[in-house]
Every structure is written in C-alpha cells, then in structure tokens.
Structure 1
C-alpha cells in the first residue's frame, strides 16, 4: 500500500496547505484520460509535524510505518499530555493527497485493484471511466465505545431480501482504507475489537457476514494505538501483533518545556503564520517520504545481518517470527528514508528496540522492557561495545 498516489504532483497538492483561508478549490481537469475534480474544502489548521519537539522514538516509528505500512502499525505508550494525538494528526496532515474514486465509501484507488471496492473493480473491468478526486489521507479516530457493527459495517438484511441487493452500511474500517486508524486508550478497548482491527490491518481486508450474505472490502491502513501504562497493558498476544512499540515520557528539561509551551502558544495565536514558518520543512520531509517509498523496493540487507537479527530474536526468546520480519522491514524503511539502498548495522540498532521490546513479555503482569535488554543482546550478537551506544 502506498499513501503516495501521484508523487509528481506533491508540490501542487500541498502548496495551499498553509494559506490563510485554508481552502482548496481547483477547476475540473482531465489527467491521464480521467476526469479529476477538487472539492472546496475548509479545514481546521493542524500543528505541523516538523515543529513537534522531542519524542523521537514515536516520530521515527510513525514515519517508518508510512514508508512501509506492512511493518504493522505502532503501539505508543506514555504519560498523559505528551502530544500523542497531536503528533498523529500532524502526520496525517503531512502526507500528500491521494487519488480516490469520487463518492466511493472505501476511498478506492482508481488504478490499484488491491485497493478497490468490489463495485469499482467491476466498473474498471468493464472499461467504465470513473470520476477521480484528490483527497487528503484520512485519519479515523476510533472511540472507546464503538460497537463491532460501527467498526466493521452492517448489512441491511431487509433491503437485501426485498430488493435483492447487498445493502452495506460501511463502518470505520472502510473509511480508514488507505489512511490512518488511530485508537486512543487502545489498552481499554475490548479484546475482540482489538482482534478485529489487527486482523484487518494484517490482511488488508474486512469481511462482514450475516444471514448468508457476505461483503468484503479493502481495509489497508496504518494502525496506531496509544495508551497510558498506568491504566494497564494489552495482553502479550495482542501486543505482539503491533509491528512497533514506542515509549514516550514527559519532557523534564525546563528549557525544552518552555520551548514547547511557546511554540504551542504561537500556533494558537496565529495558525496560518506558524504554518507558513514551517512550510519549507514540511515540504522537505514530505519529499523525503515520497522518495523513500519509491526507493524501498531497491533496498537490500546482507544475509549476515539477517542471520544476526534472527540470532538476537532467538537469544531474547521472542515467540514466533514476527520480530524477525518486522525488524528487517523497519531497517529497510529507515535506510530508504535516509536515501540509501543498503541496510547498515546502525539502521538495525536504531529500530531493533522499537521492534522487539514489546515481544519479550510472557507474563501479562510483567512490565515491558525499556530497551536495555534488547540493546544488550544486540551489542553482544553484533560485537559492539555497549559503551559506544
């Protein structure tokens, strides 16, 4: 899955994001034989991603999942008021617009069959020309009180029986397709709903079945969960399904705290001016993400390094092979982000803790390793002195 539908149009699609009116209004046009139209949209200003101070673990994990969504999402655990929601909203706002089929409830791609709903796929196969619009990457907030029907969608049995059509009311998973699904306080969500989210995130599809009627639609999204460890942890079986685990802590440095307060105050007083101030950095980071997604397929990792990654997982007694797979993917995504086609030991070092720390816990009452154990084993396997870290 890619968030980047048309890299060559990034500058055009984002150049208006910091204008004072925050309107996007473009006349109808025809691109590549398809009708493309833009709707006039007024959006609330979002704090820029590049202006967020600190919390490097969380920002790195989110960026790597954008580059390669197959990493499997991020679980963010940390203190209250540390900017978790602000950072995730900023990430969604940072990403460039994507091409979607107009008025499609699943944000279907006009070109990729794997990201199309059933109706759109049939129309494409029949050669029907579909109207295409540009749309910001969707960030869907999943409320704690959401029911399974609200998450997965429902089938109108009465209409299906009386009119002979599959009347489907899409849920939040449909809305999140090709976007970001954010679950705040995911550790307080019912386990069966967490299972549904993780299954959809892993397979890329959501299936709803009722009374012999089955509906299947694409549901490819980056799953981001957050929570406060004081309110309890997820079960180890569920934690293992998240690709990465980031820990964030309240900033202790007084000077840094003052900088954060001043930045937030400046943004609240004059959002357009603050956005304009950071526009160049936003554009630069956006282009880096685009290039990283394009470069990712070319990135390689030496066999010796892959063996050592698996040795680290084995010595840490990590169950299953998810740890091995995610660490390889994250290291490749990091190399691509930095414009390289070959993974280095330092790439692995930077991601190994994020990928493995939450897979060590066997007892639900045991706390998650801060990273010391992972880094200690990593240093031993790779022959690096710990004091060099």
Structure 2
C-alpha cells in the first residue's frame, strides 16, 4: 500500500526488495530502523534472525508469512500487523496485478478449474452478511488499486471501451485490434474493461504493439477458429493463448475486469489484469486512469454507462483536466443509441466541447489522440 514516502525506501513487495531493505536496516544508526516499512504479502521466514534483532517500531506488515515468534516481536515492538485472511480462494493482500496465465492456471482441466472461475464461484456463494468475506474483498480491491497505480505511473493511458458480444470474426473486432495496435505502437498504454469482444480485440492489438501489422493479421486468422467464448470458454481461452504463443508482449496492454460480471471471462491478451470484485470501484478506476483519452466503440448499456461517467467528470473539469472522448460509429451513436446528440448538448459552452469527437472510420482515431 502506498504512503507519502517513496516506494524505493518504504514499500516492500518481494523477497528481493526485503533483502535490500534488511541490509540497509542492519547498517543504519537510526533508533527505529524499520520505521516507515510497508511490507505487503512477503515471506519473512528467510530473514527472521535479522528481523528479530531490529527495532520494528513504526513498521506496517500486511498479510506476510512469519513465525509466531517474529509476529510477537513485531507487534510488541510497535509494528502494526494485519494477518492473512483464511478460507478465501484469493490473496487479499496481493501486491501485483494478475497475469492471464495466473488467472487461467489449470485450464487443461477446463475453465471451471482455473483460479478465475473458482473465485467467481466463491463470490456467487458468498453470504452477504459475512463481514469477514466483505472485508477480504475490500482489502483485495484496495490492493489491486494500489498495484494498478504503480503499474500505470508515468504512463500515457488511453481507454478503449466497447461491447463484449463482438466475436473474433466480425470486422469490428479486427478494426478494434488494429486501432489499439496503432496506439500501442506509438507508445500509449491501452486499457480496457478486460473482457471478451471489443475489449479482447483492443488488448490483443496493444499486446502486439511492438510487432508489425502483418503479425497481428496472422493472429486474427488463428483466432477465427474459436470465434466466441459463449459456447466453450475453455476452447476460447486455449485458442487465444495458442495464437500468441512465442510472441513478445509490448507490456502496454492492461485489462480492468470484474468478478461482478464473472460470467464474462477475462481475455488472455492483456499484459496484466487489475481484476476487482466491486464493479463500481472498477469502473471509476478505469475511467480515472485514462487521461490520454477514451475511445468508445459500439456497445450497449455498459458502454453507455461508461460514456456518461466520463462525460460527468469532463463536464465539471477545468479545461486542462478534460480527457478526450472519441466515438466510433456514426450510425450507432446517433441513431441506434443516440448518445451523441445528448453529449453535444452537455458539452455546449463547456471546456469539454472541443474534446469530444465522432468518427465513422476507426483508422481516424489515432490521429485525433496522437495529434
């Protein structure tokens, strides 16, 4: 978790970071050498002797593994300890985002055996009155929020929003992938809702941002073998993983999905997923991070909700804080779902007026966002 102090000196999220922090503490002449430490989900058992010799006053330890003796020493010495949460199928204190291979581990036994599916099944069985379970989910989402902030720090992030029902053979799927590919190739990080359909296409294109367009076209051809997740999630995910096997990942593809919509699996193409339990938190976080602009591909109710969440923020924002909003598909946004006329009315005489645009050709979007 973040503090006002710099991460280099205080946040410890791996054994490697712990190694360096312990060396510095042993060499320090400070009265409380662990003061300011924030240790998150790290195995401390390999450093017990050193830690038992140090004054822990002012340290914060979140869900880390240690002996009872070390826990007593830390607690009685003035450290604040938050223990692991038992009997939940996820790690509430996790310091990092989810990789697709982590969410889909065990796919060879079928999607139902994967951590992603098991966590969703647990959330569906959850008794809403169990405060412990509610607390575990809240801690998890806070941890993911912190990890996403670290992941996107100092990056220019553009969001691509769109419907989950677009299958891999539809022309709009390829168009979304090519748009994201162009944005990632220009150095932008592409963030989506992390699900299937247009979101999957965008994460795919961004993942391949360091490859030329011909590689993306080859992968799109492979994906056509399993067009949709609706019939068989296992085959859909397996086809996706096979299609990009051996290809380098740009690292500029981020998904922000939610177990609230757990019946829609996360896609396998995001470099990493910030997966949340609470959908309201997830949507707010996703829109907040996309300061380089948001592109709205044709979608339905979920996409429309995202449109007006962002529009509300832009409506009240100062001119320098307005994020561009680009809509793709004139027919969709003016007639099928006539969002565009209402948005124009809202934007009139506001700083956001010049930051909204409607295009019919996805290839026009990159020029608008990249200048």
| TM-score bracket, shorter-length normalisation | under 0.3
Give TM-score, length-normalised by structure 2. Answer: 0.25
Q: Which has the higher contact order (CA 8 A, sep 6+)?
A: 1
Instruction: Return the structure number with greater strand share.
Output: 1
Give TM-score, length-normalised by structure 1. Answer: 0.24
